[in-house]
Amino acid sequence: MEGGQLQAVENNQSLAERLFVTLRGEIVEGQLAAGSKISEPELARRFSASRGSLREALMRLESLGLLERRVHVGARVVDLTERGLLDLYEVREALEGMACRLAAQNRSDEDLTELRQMLARHEQQEELQAGKAYFQPEGDFDFHFRIVQASKNDLLIDTLCNRLYYRVRMYRYQLGMASPRAKRAFREHSHIIEAIEAGDGELAELLMRRHIRASRNNIEKKLTTET
């Protein structure tokens, strides 16, 4: 348990905000173990901050669903369950499907060119490390992320990119989720972009939902056979 370095982030923000960002990272990457209890005094000492500022950060983490607080008992990091992971996939299927439908309607030309560039980069990476058998996970995130932004629905963007995003990353880091085969994921992404370019929202939604559901089924199968 090191003396904590606060990330610089943006220097002009509030202390509570920096604490929030730092702790969020530690929870996602598992340095603050899933299921473990949070001691306010201890964490406050570790960052040389007051309990008040720390508490503000904790409450933001709670609203992200990264920890649970109970009155007069304290905060615990959420624990990762198979059920929670599968639930998350179902919500993503619904929301990202809708995001694709809307992106096909509302995308700007700039959105489209950026998506195409991103896809090209992924293809290069894939060819370079063809043997490596898995996709850059961050690249996959970026792709989904970028599509959501093209939907132009602020509530949808906030829900997916600010609220569910970190939960997804937490599962990826700590349950080391099966990443779909690079080749197949690449082709699916490619088809989704084509549907978006063609303005076919119905197809774009269908493809994205199938894409996400395939991942979910993959995980579900792996979990039921392993346990």
Partner DNA sequence: TCAACCCAGATTGTCGACAATCTTTATAAG
Partner DNA sequence: CTTATAAAGATTGTCGACAATCTGGGTTGA
- Contact footprint for its own copies (CB under 8 A): 13-14, 17, 52, 55-56, 59-60, 62-63, 65, 71-72, 83-84, 87-88, 90-91, 93-95, 97-98, 102, 153-156, 158-159
Indicate left, alpha or beta for 177 from its phi (over 0: left) and psi (-120 to 50: alpha): beta
| Triad 205, 141, 194: Cα angle to 5° | 40
Q: Is 53 in the site for DNA (CB under 7 A)?
A: yes
Q: Is 123 in the site for DNA (CB under 7 A)?
A: no
Which helix (H) or strand (E) segment is 74 a member of? strand 74-77
Q: Is 73 in the site for DNA (CB under 7 A)?
A: yes
Q: How far, in Å, are 10, 64, 93, 129, 179 from residue 139 at the CA level?
A: 24, 23, 19, 14, 11
Distance CA 123, CA 139 (A): 11
Q: Enter the tokens of residue 134.
A: 């898995």
Distance CA 93, CA 132 (A): 28
Name which of DNA, its own copies, none residue 40 binds, using a CB cut-off of 5 to 8 Å depending on partner kind. DNA
Distance CA 52, CA 58 (A): 10
Residue with tokens 């850059």: 136
Please, what is the minimum distance in Å from the beta carbon of residue 181 to its own copies? 26
Q: Which stretch binds DNA (CB under 7 A): 32-40, 136-144, 159-167, 199-207?
A: 32-40
Nearer to DNA, 3 or 176 (CB): 3
Nearer to its own copies, 182 or 195 (CB): 195
Q: In the set 21, 28, 32, 55, which binds DNA (CB under 7 A)?
A: 55
Please, what is the minimum distance in Å from the beta carbon of residue 94 to its own copies? 4
Nearer to DNA, 55 or 122 (CB): 55
Q: Is 78 in the site for DNA (CB under 7 A)?
A: no
Chain positions 197 to 226 lying near DNA, rule: CB under 7 A, are none
Amino acid at 191: H
Distance CA 39, CA 44 (A): 8
Name which of its own copies, DNA, none residue 140 binds, using a CB cut-off of 5 to 8 Å depending on partner kind. none
Please, what is the minimum distance in Å from the beta carbon of residue 227 to DNA? 29
Q: In the set 7, 14, 31, 113, which binds DNA (CB under 7 A)?
A: 14
Is residue 60 within 8 A of residue 105, CB to CB? The reply is no
Which helix (H) or strand (E) segment is 184 a member of? helix 182-197
Chain contacts with DNA (rule: CB under 7 A):
14-16, 38-42, 48-53, 55-56, 69, 71-75
